[in-house]
Amino acid sequence: MSLGDLGPGERHRRTAEGFSSLVGGVADWSAPAPVAGWTARDVVRHLVEWFPGFLAASGVELAPGPPVADDPVAAWQHQAGAVQVLVEERGDDELTHPYAGTHRLADAVDRFYTADVFMHSWDLARASGQHVELDGGWAGTLLEGMRPIEDVLRSSGQYGPAVPVPADAPVVDRLVGFIGRDPAWRPPG
C-alpha cells in the first residue's frame, strides 16, 4: 500500500517510523549531508526546530524536547511522538497560519511537515550511508503537487535550483532532483 493511500495520521506514523529507523542507524552525526553546509545532525535539527515555530504561529504549542545538539535521537523521538499525538488528538481542529492559510490540523501536518520528513529521509540516508526505499507513489504525488508552484517554492529560499534528472529516471530521483539534490550524491571520501 502506498503512503498516498493512507490518511494523514497513518502517513505521518509510517514516515516518522522510517525516519526514526534512519536516525537510529547514524554512526557519525557530523557526516556531510546532501544539503550544502549541512551534516546528518543538521537534517534532524531542521525537522525538530522549524515545525514547532510553524505551529506556534497558528497558536498550537508543541512541547519542547531534548536539544538536537545534545541527543539527536532523543530529540527526534520526542518530536515524532508529540506530532503523532497532536494529529491523533487534534487532527480535526482548524489551523490558521499567517502564511500557509487555513487547514484542518492533520492536513497541515501532512502537507507541510510529513512531506518534509519524507524528503529529508533521503538526505539522512545518504549522509549516514544507509539505504532507504522511499515510496515511489508518494514521491510522484509530492512531485506533481510541487511542480505547479515551483516558482513559489524556489522564491521562498527553501528549495535550491533543480538538478537536471532524465525524464525516465525513477520518480524518487526526479523528486530529489526537483528539490535541489543530485540523486548520485554520496558523502566525500
**Helix, strand, coil share (%) of the chain residues, nearest 5:** 55, 5, 40
pLDDT of 156 reads 79
Q: What's the chain's length in residues? A: 189
How confident is the chain (189 residues) per 10-residue block, as mean pLDDT?
A: 91 98 98 96 97 92 95 98 95 78 88 95 97 96 91 82 95 96 90
pLDDT of 95 reads 77
- CB 93 within 8 Å of CB 152: no
pLDDT of 116 reads 95
d(CA 46, CA 68): 9
- Interior angle at CA 150, CA 148 and CA 154, nearest 5: 165
- CB 181 within 8 Å of CB 161: no
> Grid coordinates representing 111?
502537507
d(CA 8, CA 92): 11
pLDDT of 92 reads 83
- Tell me the domains of the chain and their CATH numbers: 7-133 (1.20.120.450), 136-183 (no CATH)
